[in-house]
Amino acid sequence: MILIVFSAVGDSITAEFDWDELILLKYPGIIRNDIGRGGDTTLGVIERLDMILETKAQIYLLAMGMSAATINEVEPTGRNLVRI
């Protein structure tokens, strides 16, 4: 069995998503690191980027921006996504 490390990075949508149903049950060779945090922003991801990269994942899924969009911070969020 091939093992792949998958890290989901993001806000509450990422943290609360059912990754088991979508990926892990279908692909048992995947090891998941859930790095989603409720209310997180792109700036929060930048601040903990070292910790995220320590997972040494082969696949990183970045799902961010909804929290910022609801508080009208789309422009800085776009810049931060480019930095990430």
pLDDT single digits (tens) 23-66: 877 888 888 887 888 888 888 889 999 999 998 999 898 887 67
Report pLDDT for 50.
Answer: 93
Q: Say if residues 11 and 46 touch (Cβ distance below 8 Å).
A: no
Report the chain's mean pLDDT, rounded to a whole number.
83
Q: Please compute, for residue 27, the number of CA atoms within 13 A of its CA located in the half-sphere on the CB side.
A: 11
pTM: 0.74
In a 3-state reduction of DSSP, which class is residue 6? strand
DSSP for 56-77, written as a single string: --SEEEEE--HHHHHTT-HHHH
Which residues is 33 bridged to in the sheet?
Answer: 7
Q: Would you state the structure tokens that stand for residue 39, as one six-digit string?
A: 């209310």
Q: CATH no. for residue 71? A: 3.40.50.1110
The whole domain housing 19 covers: 4-83
Say how many domains are in the chain: 1
